[in-house]
């Protein structure tokens, strides 16, 4: 058994482990708390940030759609336009460009919130896992942080749905 840290992700075939202590002989167990935290953090970031970025881009699309419809409503089919009306359209287009630039920050804000949540949750989960595995004396597989990060991601998804009692 090696004392070095495994490289991320170091996921191995569980069937091989069942046949002969593959994880132990190849050094694919997490023995230090920093490794458990690192693996849990990486998996949390990989799983949670896309969960937040996709709705961020959806919101950006909805904002862009609303601005596009608003801009189209301002245009007229008349052949000749007065100077005042042309200036008003140009100001609307400039304001729309500025609003689109501000709306482009929405996916970035969603990603930052997802990253923050991933960091906070991975700290809690990683050190809880370290405590459990130190007390019991087991060797932690590299699959454990992945599975717990997947469970926390599913928990965040379930927490995003409105409860039926809130609707009633």
pLDDT tens, residue by residue, 56-92: 999 888 887 877 776 666 555 454 555 565 566 666 6
Write down the pLDDT at residue 81. Answer: 53
Q: Quick one: CA dihedral 106, 109, 114, 117, positive or negative?
A: negative
- Helix 33-74 to helix 143-160 angle (10° resolution) is 30
Write down the pLDDT at residue 94. Answer: 72
- Residue 156 vs residues 4, 27, 51, 81, 101: alpha-carbon distances, Å: 33, 32, 9, 53, 29
- For 141, phi and psi rounded to 5 degrees? -70, 155
Listed in sequence order, the DSSP H helices in the chain are 14-19, 22-25, 33-74, 83-103, 105-136, 143-160, 164-167
Model confidence at 45: pLDDT above 80: yes
* Average pLDDT score over residue span 136-144: 85
pLDDT band at 53 (very low <50, low <70, confident <90, very high): very high
Do 146 and 43 contact (CB within 8 A), yes or no?
yes
pLDDT tens, residue by residue, 82-130: 556 556 666 666 777 777 777 788 899 999 999 999 999 999 999 999 9
């Amino acid at each position: 058994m090696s004392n070095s840290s495994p490289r991320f992700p170091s996921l191995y075939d569980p069937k091989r482990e069942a046949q002969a202590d593959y994880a132990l002989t190849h050094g694919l167990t997490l023995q230090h708390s920093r490794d458990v935290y690192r693996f849990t953090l990486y998996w949390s970031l990989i799983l949670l940030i896309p969960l937040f970025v996709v709705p961020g881009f959806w919101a950006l699309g909805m904002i862009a759609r609303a601005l596009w419809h608003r801009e189209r409503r301002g245009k007229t089919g008349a052949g000749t336009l007065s100077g005042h009306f042309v200036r008003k359209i140009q100001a609307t287009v400039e304001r729309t460009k500025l609003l689109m630039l501000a709306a482009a920050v929405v996916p970035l804000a969603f990603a930052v919130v997802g990253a923050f949540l991933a960091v906070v949750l991975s700290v809690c989960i990683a050190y809880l896992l370290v405590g459990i595995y130190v007390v019991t004396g087991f060797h932690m597989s590299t699959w454990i942080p992945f599975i717990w990060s997947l469970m926390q991601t599913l928990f965040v998804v379930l927490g995003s749905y409105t409860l039926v009692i809130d609707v009633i």
